[in-house]
Amino acid sequence: MAERRNSAVCTFDPASQKVTAYDIHEWIHDILRIPEKTVKMLEIEGPKRQGHIQLADTQCVLVVIRVLCEQVEYRDINGETSIVTIAMTEMGIKKIRIENLPPQSSINP
């Protein structure tokens, strides 16, 4: 299980073109203007059209959401604009599945 802390989730418009991790990375830097040292991790959930951005602390997440008013434009490589919704990631634990892990392996924290 993995726990998401200090994260914001960016939900991209399902009608927009597919967004790559590189596109999101550039968008975070150019549009959201989040300092690179503040971003700890970026996780993409393709089927849900979401990007989870883990930041240095909860205060950073709240500032990003407050400043951006929870919605931001995203312009794809073709110049088409869509709206991205930004929210604080749900607190809690997410189950992840690891394939081809031998049964005798222990992954306890």
Domain ranges of the chain: 2-94
> What pLDDT, on a 0 to 100 scale, did the predictor assign at position 107?
62
Divide the 109 residues of the chain into consecutive groups of 10 and give the mean pLDDT of each group.
Answer: 70 84 86 85 85 83 74 84 82 65 68
The pLDDT score that the predictor gives to residue 10 is: 87
pTM value surpassing 0.75: no
Domain spanning 2-94: which superfamily? RRM (RNA recognition motif) domain (3.30.70.330)
pLDDT at 1: 38
- The pLDDT value recorded for residue 71 is 80
**CA 82 from chain center: how many Å?**
17
Query: Which residues make beta-bridge pairs with 72?
Result: 84
For the chain, the farthest-separated pair of C-alpha atoms sits apart, in whole angstroms, at: 51
Q: How far apart are CA 19 and CA 104, in angstroms?
A: 38
